[in-house]
Amino acid sequence: MKILHKALMPVFLMFSALALAQGGASSCGELQANFQQYQACATTIQFTNSINNPSQENFNTSCIGDNLQGPTWFFIKIKSAGDIHMQISQVGNSGNETDVDFVLWGPFPNLDNVCGQLNPSHEIDCSWSVFATEQVSLPNAIAGQLYVLLVDNYSNVPGEITITQTGGTGSSDCGFLSAVDILDNTGAEITNLNYCKPGTKDLVAKVDTSDFPGNLANYRYNYKWYKDDVLINTITDSTSDTNTITVNETGDYRVDMTAYDSTDPTVDLTNLDISSDEITLSFFDAPDITLQLSGGSCLAQNPVLHAVDNNGNFDGTYQWFRNNVMIPGAAAPDYTPDTAGNYYVKVANAGCPPVNSNSITVYVAPQISISGNQTICEGTTHTITSAISNSASLTSVTFRWFKDGQVIPGATNNSYIVSAVNQAPGTTASYELEATENGTCVSLTNATSITISPKPQLVSNVNLEQCDYIAPNNDGIAKTNLTQVYQAITNNNPAFTLTYYLDSGLTQQIPDPSAFTNTTPNQTIYVTGTIPTSVCISNTATISLTVSPTNVASYTNMAPVCPEINSSFGFLDFESQRQVIKNTFFPTSNVTIDFYDNENDAALEQNPLTNTTQRPIGPTVVYARIEMGNNCFEVGTFNTEIYSAPLQSAIGNVAKCQSDTLLLSSKDPEALAGQNNAVQVSYFYSFDNAKNNANAIPKTSAVNLPLGNNPIFARLVNSNSQCVSITDFTVTVFANPVLTQPDDISLCGDTTAVFNLDSRIPQITSGNTNYQVTFFASQQDLNSGNAIPDSAAYESAPKTIFIKAIDPTNNGCPSTTSLTLNVYQSPGSPDNPDIIEECSSDGFAEFDLTSHEQQMAGTTPINEIEFRYYIDPADAAANNSNVISNPGAFTNTAISEQAIYVRLNGSNRIDSETGIACYRILQQMIYARPFPENKLNDYPYKICLDIDGNVVNPAIVDAGLLHGDYDFIWYNGSDAIAGNEIITSNGSIFTTEHEGDYSVRITDLTHLTLCQTIVNFTARNSLIPFSLTGNPTELVAFETDNTITAVVTPPSDDFEYSLDNTPWQDSNVFTDVKEGIYTLSVRNKYGCGELSTMVVVTDYPRFFTPNGDGYNDRWNIGGRLALDKSNVFIYDRFGKLMTEITANETGWDGTYNGKPMPADDYWFRINYIVGGQKKEFLGHFSLKR
């Protein structure tokens, strides 16, 4: 068996250390995706094999006879052109040799999509043997091209693969086995690529020589160093596998290394493989940053901090700090602070340590306020305080106070005391505080106003005398209204609010000074006051109170009076009574007389009575108080009375229709209910007329009142006292509904129609939705209230009906009118017309829909009807424009049958509700009747002949239709030409023994259309198979094609063939026939006979599956019946005999000594005799599990 390894990657990747992994890919997909890792060459280096085929990939090859077991994939790059002979060997980890196979494909310029190209056309060598060593032949290897090598670990045992070159003039490229790396001085990878000037960095080129063959001391190394692709250093023929340079500038550094064996005379020094490595380093200047400020150091001045690069080439990061705390997100060269504090910026680049700039402090103005406006009293002080809300952001604050915009000398604290010392009483001043932070940021507070109020003054003492006339009236104790001296004590200043006390210490306040009861006949009262314009309390004034005993006098009584009309009170003329008392009892004294309801009010001088005081009905006693100055002189009483007026009886309101009669005298019983006999009633149109007894309404005559609410006033008079009461009620007059005579309703129908009487309600009521309308079939029903129950669907012949309307919103007053109903006859016949039929081959035909118009018109003159034809009944009902445009030549739109809707519009009578002429809609059915169905064969009917040409079976032609439903006429020749009728045949079945052309005319009798179909057909002779043999009858197919040919006599194209019930075929040849015994059959396609015979194919199955499922469980030679004698011997791949099968045995079950054998390829030998000749055949098959 033959295989190759893996395809080569491009030259520029050959230095990759990945190639030193010494392992192949586990799948072609992995090789294709990461081919750089899987290069191989002909060396003594061992590669790790694979097991289990995890990808389950398989490829079409010329030799591999089973699924891949443990594939390992490589690629090989050709260094020198020519033939290459290699050896692949495999050992397990235990050191034992194991079965290895291979396939080699190529050449390929690259490995893009290489897995799809691994097919026999690219296969170079392949082997699938039982050996642990395989020989690979690669003829005419092309330099620089790549080859894919698949090594399959058929034993599936973990181990190592070795690929060595055993001959040939070509060679594989093993340059990938060595590589150079750029490392640091310790031999480690360089991970830090950034450095700070003036620092330097050593770059060490290190060659990996672990795979170099021969003596390493004989090797020489060449190094070329580049910076940004410019050569900067060259070392040749060095004996050291390391080389170092020192760098201090930014750039891309690369080393190219070549190595060779100085003792090898075949080395071409001009064509050495180059291994390279490169690294990019950056060197940075140390940052030098100065912080500058623009805009001022106070936040209110919008300061901006600038980080200035003194080197002019800074390429790094910025981070701003405030009060040594990092500011998130502040990473730009400039920063605009929004908070006071000490700022600096930390800068850094990729190679140098971070550097802090100088710092700058930014200040903020104090956010300060002072306490609010205040009013103080003369003689007190007030401290104005301040508060700073941002004190945590401040460092050093100074203060200055201002009064009315002027600096207050010496006022530099954060508070200020205001008093009469620094502000005159009775004035208001405005104060402000200025605060300055660090001498830079200044803010001025709100202004606050301070007012100093002066103290108000009362008259120091006032005398007050009171009469003591309340029993006992000689003890000097009485109630007194102290507030009566208000004007005297305040010097007539109404702004004062006074407070009264019993003691000079002002601790015992008098709760009700308007009703004070003294404790001694002579008592001092203490008074203080306040006014709204001052917060100060006045000086303390005194009232000297004296209470003297007094008797109660009797004065002249007042005459009784009537109460005010419709009121429960009356008015007394106290001015006249005051003059009577003065002239009678005090004609020469200067006195003040006031009147009160009771002795307490008189004592306290509260609630005095005047001419406007409402006095209740009934007798009463009035108290008169006589004073001289503020001092009580005398108290007396007199009697008076307010009469009772007639009762205000409730009179009910009246609601009437406009035509109703009303007499006001009918309301007298209600007006006089409960009155005494002295009360009389009369009626008026207004209150004033009733009050003045003017223009009374005649109450025994009918009252003519306008529509709407009419107030009526009843005057009730007591003839004894002449006292009057007035009551009222309302007479509401409602209008009868105003009705409009409705238009007639005229509907289309036959003798009756269904009328929607409600449709006239808007016209009757003129749109007044308040009206309730009822319909009556006759005047009698109107009179009896027997209404039409369903006025929206009232079926009636022509007549006049009666209407009544009431307005519930206007007292239910009624009105009546009438409505005329007419019924017009609809045009045309009430019955649908006869159907229309036409013949059709596809369910569609042309119809003359107008052919039945006279039938549809009925008794209506046809010239009075407009016929309109519709497909949709809704369109017909709507009488819209979707008419059939050409009803005289209409093709149906629904297959086979369709209903057409014909609207018959009258021309002389119009439906009053729709404005449409009376119409009728009829349904016209149309039918597209099918032609009789052609059920005859489209191929010739066969007349069966034997080998001698005799008719065995005539041709039988069955029309397949019922004779009673159809009529049949058979003809000689095509197209059913008259005169060619076959008189003896008129049924649905026709029989003939003669070849020729025929036809039949079929007529459908089930419809009036009598649709006809003419069918042409042919009758032809066909042979019956006479004999059948297989060629060969017995086929031993070990080394031949498995082909069986059916030989029939007589031959005919009408025959078809089958082998063991396979589908019938036109060919008499069967190929690829597997081993077995078969039935070979031939038949006439048209039913003229069938024959069968037996054939035998001797061959072996290529695999079997002994899994007990009943299918392919045993392996044996099939069709051994064709052999005279046979013996079969089965071997494993190592040549060990598994079993022997004789002619009568059932075959091998895949076991050896009762033990199941593994899935594998097995070999067999059969010795057999056929036709008297001894023969032997060798082959192999697969056991699958």
How does DSSP assign 755-820, residue by residue? E-GGGGHHHHHTT-TT-EEEEESSHHHHHHT---S-TTSEEESSEEEEEEEEEGGGTTEEEEEEEE
- DSSP string covering 176-197: GG-EEEEE-TTS-B----EEET
Please enumerate in sequence order all residues whose Cβ is within 8 A of that of 949, keeping only pairs 6 or more positions apart, or say none: none
- Domain spanning 368-453: CATH superfamily: Immunoglobulins (2.60.40.10)
Quote the CA–CA distance of 930 and 941 in Å, as a whole number: 26
Report which residue type is found at 1085. K
Q: Evaluate the omega torsion of the peptide bond into residue 198 and state whether it is cis, within 30 degrees of 0.
A: yes
CATH topology of domain 289-362: Immunoglobulin-like (2.60.40)
Confidence (pLDDT) at 334: 93
DSSP 855: H
Does the fold of domain 180-284 match that of domain 11-177?
A: no
> What are the percentages of helix, strand and coil residues in the chain, rounded to 5?
10, 45, 45
Strand order in the sheet with 1012-1023: 951-953, 941-945, 1012-1023, 996-1004, 966-972
Name the token pair of 186: 């310790």
CATH, range 941-1023: 2.60.40
Contact (CB, 8 A) for 308 and 292: yes
CATH architecture of 11-177: Sandwich (2.60)
CATH, range 1103-1183: 2.60.40
**CB neighbour class for 337 (10 Å; exposed up to 12, middle 13-18, buried from 19):** buried
* Domain spans of the chain, in order of start: 11-177, 180-284, 289-362, 368-453, 461-549, 552-642, 654-734, 745-825, 836-930, 941-1023, 1027-1098, 1103-1183
Quote the CA–CA distance of 354 and 127 in Å, as a whole number: 68
Name the token pair of 578: 């005051």
Quote the CA–CA distance of 682 and 338 in Å, as a whole number: 94
**CB neighbour class for 960 (10 Å; exposed up to 12, middle 13-18, buried from 19):** exposed
Q: Which residues of 1090-1111 are buried (b: 16+ CB within 10 A; e: fewer)?
A: ebebebbbbbbbeebbbeeeee
Beta partners for 956?
Answer: 991
Confidence (pLDDT) at 663: 92
Q: Which residue has the tokens 């599936």?
A: 156
Confidence (pLDDT) at 18: 31
For residue 650, the Cα-to-chain-centroid distance in whole angstroms is: 71
Contact (CB, 8 A) for 962 and 1003: no
C-alpha separations of 17 from 75, 643, 1144 in Å: 16, 135, 66
Contact (CB, 8 A) for 961 and 935: yes
Please enumerate in sequence order all residues whose Cβ is within 8 A of that of 340, keeping only pairs 6 or more positions apart, or say none: 299, 361, 362, 363, 364, 393, 394
Q: Which residue has the tokens 């006693």?
A: 621
Contact (CB, 8 A) for 123 and 147: no
CATH topology of domain 1027-1098: Immunoglobulin-like (2.60.40)
Quote the CA–CA distance of 49 and 51 in Å, as a whole number: 7
Q: Which residues of 1029-1067 are buried (b: 16+ CB within 10 A; e: fewer)?
A: ebebebbbbbeeebebbbebeeeeebbbbbbeeeeeeee
CATH of 654-734, one of 2.60.120, 2.60.40, 1.10.10, 1.10.3470: 2.60.40
Contact (CB, 8 A) for 227 and 247: yes
Confidence (pLDDT) at 175: 60
Low-confidence ranges of the chain (pLDDT < 50): 1-22
The CB density around residue 416, as the number of other CB atoms within 10 Å, is 23
- Give the 3-state secondary structure of residue 581: helix
Of 598, 609, 520, 608, which is closest to residue 570 (Cα–Cα)? 609
Confidence (pLDDT) at 6: 25
Quote the CA–CA distance of 965 and 1005 in Å, as a whole number: 5
Please enumerate in sequence order all residues whose Cβ is within 8 A of that of 957, keeping only pairs 6 or more positions apart, or say none: 936, 941, 989, 990, 991, 992, 998, 1000, 1017, 1019
Quote the CA–CA distance of 1064 and 1073 in Å, as a whole number: 15
pTM: 0.34
For residue 580, the Cα-to-chain-centroid distance in whole angstroms is: 98
Quote the CA–CA distance of 1080 and 1057 in Å, as a whole number: 8
Of 528, 498, 539, 533, which is closest to residue 426 (Cα–Cα)? 533
The pLDDT > 70 percentage for the chain reads 96
Quote the CA–CA distance of 1084 and 1053 in Å, as a whole number: 9
DSSP 558: P
**Strand residue runs (E) in 209-316:** 219-227, 230-238, 242-247, 251-261, 275-284, 289-294, 304-309
Name the token pair of 149: 């090598």
Confidence (pLDDT) at 721: 87
Q: What are phi and psi of 121, to 5 degrees?
A: -70, -25
Q: Which residues of 446-464 are buried (b: 16+ CB within 10 A; e: fewer)?
A: eebebbbbbebebeeebeb
- What Rg value do the Cα atoms of the chain yield, rounded? 69
Please enumerate in sequence order all residues whose Cβ is within 8 A of that of 1123, keeping only pairs 6 or more positions apart, or say none: 1036, 1098, 1143, 1168, 1169, 1170
The dihedral built from the CA positions of residue 616, 619, 623 and 624, taken in this order, carries a sign that is positive
Query: If you classify domain 461-549 with CATH, what class do you get?
Result: mainly beta
- Give the 3-state secondary structure of residue 32: helix
CATH architecture of 552-642: Sandwich (2.60)
Strand bridging mode 194-196 / 275-284: parallel
Q: What are phi and psi of 799, to 5 degrees?
A: -170, 175
**CB neighbour class for 230 (10 Å; exposed up to 12, middle 13-18, buried from 19):** exposed
Most distant pair of Cα atoms in the chain: their distance: 192
Please enumerate in sequence order all residues whose Cβ is within 8 A of that of 479, keeping only pairs 6 or more positions apart, or say none: 470, 515, 516, 517, 600, 603, 604
Confidence (pLDDT) at 16: 30
**CB neighbour class for 559 (10 Å; exposed up to 12, middle 13-18, buried from 19):** exposed
Name the token pair of 1073: 């026939």
Q: What are phi and psi of 849, to 5 degrees?
A: -70, -15
CATH, range 180-284: 2.60.40.10
